Structure 1
Amino acid sequence: MPVTFRKSFRILPGVRINLNRRSWSITLGGGSGPRWTRSSTGRDTYSADLPGPFGFRTTRRRRGDR
């Protein structure tokens, strides 16, 4: 069974630093509104909760990153 690690720190209202075994990321927004996450591995993720059990998420890699 693999061992995983994930930790999230709230540094300001609406701003979080997320750490895991391979990378770190910063998230702006949250709650029931839209969120934007930028990862140290080169991914940008935009997500939002929609009414009911629905949500929206799109992820893309930044140019020049692996």
Structure 2
Amino acid sequence: MAITFRKSIRILPGVTLNINRFSWSITLGARGGPRHTISSTGRRTTSMDLPGPLGWRHNHRHGRRR
């Protein structure tokens, strides 16, 4: 079993700093509405919860980290 680390810190209402073993990210937006996540690895994600068991997510990566 792998050891994992993840920490989410709420900076302001609607702004969250997420930290894990390999990177960090900032999420803008509240639950129930659209959210935009920008990661230190270059990944940008836009997601939104839809009614019922549906959800929508769009990923976009700028460059590659090696």
TM-score normalised over the length of structure 2: 0.93
Distance 1:51 1:29 in 2: 17
**Which residue of structure 2 aligns with residue 37 of structure 1?**
37
- Map of 1:10-21 to 2, 5 A cutoff? 10-21=10-21
In structure 1, give the amino acid aligned to 2:54: F
Q: Which runs of 5+ in 1 are unaligned?
A: none
Q: Which runs of 5+ in 2 are unaligned?
A: none
**Which residue of structure 1 aligns with residue 53 of structure 2?**
53
Q: Displaced runs of 4+ in structure 1, greater than 4 A? A: none
How many residues are treated as equivalent by the alignment?
65
The secondary structure found in structure 2 opposite 1:4 is coil
Distance 2:30 2:41 in 1: 21
**Which residue of structure 2 aligns with residue 7 of structure 1?**
7
The secondary structure found in structure 2 opposite 1:31 is coil
TM-score normalised over the length of structure 1: 0.93
